[in-house]
Structure 1
Amino acid sequence: MPKSTRTRSTRRAGRGRTATGTIETITRPTQSLPVQILLVIWRWRWELMVLVTAIYITIAHGAKIVGYIESNPAWLNAMLAVLVLGWIVSDNFVRRFVVNRVWCVITRHRVRACLVEMRTLNYSGNLPFIIACWSTKTGQVVWVWMRPGLSMEDLDNKSETIASACWARKANIERSRRNAALVRIEIDRRDPLSKQHITSPLLDDTSDLPEAVVADDAVMAFLTPDTDRVSDESTTQPPAKTGAGETRTKTSKTKYTATVDDRASVILGANGEDVSDYV
């Protein structure tokens, strides 16, 4: 049996081919080291801030904290731990701020990861620059600066993908009215009206009654028209005699109807002229 004429390099190239035979090439711009350091600091600024704070507290006040804990009895340390844990779990300003900041950091990283996976890049390989992320009553808002070569059209029909990446209910993408490069991504995580019971003031008379007692007649009693009110359009004046056995009635719209002996209805104008053919 003859040996194959393919070399090892050819076999390796054949193994590396994809099913479609396509190759994706993404170029990266050459950036200086200071720029790269600044971008890393800006991206991980909250994590670095927490790390620096923890290191400072450990170095500057770690010995004092350990000495204070060792000087107290065990029951007092347990009580202090319970109080601190209860204060953290309870609803207060510090807890809300920490939770909102954590979700903002998570949302910012998730949006960037989603942009990378969707290949929202320009020809130089740059992603949209995430300016900031703020907390709202329903979730978070991420402001994105589109680099040259990108626009909001690159994010069209991508709201469901971004919402799925951020573990949210939905996402809304809007462009700034003043600048086309500034895009607002609103991440909706919760509905503030879903757990609230809204009562209508129209049912004050029947709100305290059981549902079986309230019949349709009790509701329809508020919808019946007032019989004492008489409309101005239906008011008529007493009939006046016009002679020759005719009587005419004047309505609010200054139209006259006449009834003759042959039972034929005739409409008269303001000057008594027959206008039946024109009506």
Structure 2
Amino acid sequence: MARNPRNQIYPAYEDLPAARGGGPLVRLWRARAELLLLAATTLFVLALLGATRDGQWVPVVLLTSAVSVPAATRRGRSWVAAHFWCVFSRHRLHRVCMETTMHTRAGRIPLVLWITPTAAGEKALIMVRAGISAEEFEAYAEEIAAACWARGVNVYRHRTRSQFLIVEIVRRDVTPGAASPGLDRLYGRRSWVALRPDLEEPPDLRTEVVLPRAA
């Protein structure tokens, strides 16, 4: 199947300026997860040092247990890994927009409003800028998948507000009956239109209809 013309950067887009990194507030917003993790780690270390300096070992045991016990469980490790991939995919989505034509002539890239783990990978809620559409994300689906180290990417557009779209990053098969670890139910069930004809709705939001077997 022929590639979408939106994938061709030159010569149609050779006058398109490079994307900018954004202002200080935008940079802080994009690095919010890392900043929160840094703040939590700093508070943890300071509390640990203060407790050991004062000879209070009970707070030390409680603090170390709060970190080591979840890390020793499968559920805890899965939670950490799932959110690591969310942060990783968010940064890679930004990078794809900068390296392709998915930014405006002013150099502004789409906003990743929310990203959450799913049973198959991650799902990002994105608001596009003027001049960018969900169809352009679909045209760059292979580039997004490669940048996010994923198996594939599915794109869904909002039924009534086309400035909003969902980029679903697929990393693995979904085990039947497996619960999604994220909060993708907040996206709604019937609000999104798939841009590929073989996808009617996001897989983890689709209501399965079981037909009765013939006697």
Structure 1 residues 49 and 86: CA distance shift in structure 2, 3 A: closer
1:36 aligns with 2:23: yes
Mapping for residues 226-237 of structure 1, pairs under 5 Å: none
What is aligned with 1:157? 139
Q: Deviations over 1:90-110 (max 9, x none)?
A: 213x33332221111011011
**C-alpha distance 175-88 of structure 1, shift in aligned 2 (>3 A):** same
2:108 maps to what in 1? Answer: 126
**Structure 2 equivalent of residue 91 of structure 1:** 74
1:139 aligns with 2:121: yes
Residues 27 and 192 of structure 1, relative CA distance in 2, 3 Å threshold: closer
Q: Distance in 2 between matches of 1:106 and 1:88?
A: 20
Which residue of structure 2 aligns with residue 50 of structure 1?
Answer: 37
Query: What residue number does 2:130 align with?
Result: 148
Q: 1:159 to 1:28 in 2, by over 3 A?
A: closer
Deviation string for 1:12-35 (max 9, x for gaps)?
xxxxxxxx9x97561778xxxxx8
Unaligned segments of structure 2, at least 5 residues: 1-10, 179-215
2:46 maps to 1:59: yes
Does the 8 Å contact 2:19/2:109 carry over to 1?
no
Aligned partners of 1:163, 1:86: CA distance in 2, in Å? 34
- Distance in 2, matches of 1:38 and 1:124, equals 17
SS in 2 for 1:148: coil
Letter in 1 for 2:125: W
Instruction: Specify the alignment match of 1:218 in structure 2.
Output: none
Give the structure 2 partner of residue 171 of structure 1: 153
Rg (Cα) greater in structure: 1
Please show how residues 5-20 of structure 1 align to structure 2 within 5 Å: none
Q: Deviations over 1:90-142 (max 9, x none)?
A: 213x3333222111101101111111111211122111111110111111001
Residue type at the aligned position of 2:144: I
Does 1 or 2 have the higher relative contact order (CA < 8 Å, sep 6+)?
2
Distance of 1:130 and 1:53 partners within structure 2: 23
Residues 105, 65 of structure 1: alpha-carbon distance in 2 compared, 3 angstrom cutoff: farther
Does structure 1 conserve the Cα–Cα contact (< 8 Å) formed by 2:19 and 2:103? no
Identical-residue share of aligned pairs (%):
27
CA offset digits 1:187-245 (Å, max 9, x no partner): 01111349x9xxxxxxxxxxxxxxxxxxxxxxxxxxxxxxxxxxxxxxxxxxxxxxxxx
Give the alignment's TM-score, normalised by structure 1: 0.50
- TM-score normalised according to structure 2 size: 0.63
Aligned pairs, number: 162
Query: How far 1:180 sits from its partner (Å)?
Result: 0.5
Cα separation, 2, equivalents of 1:165 and 1:28: 17
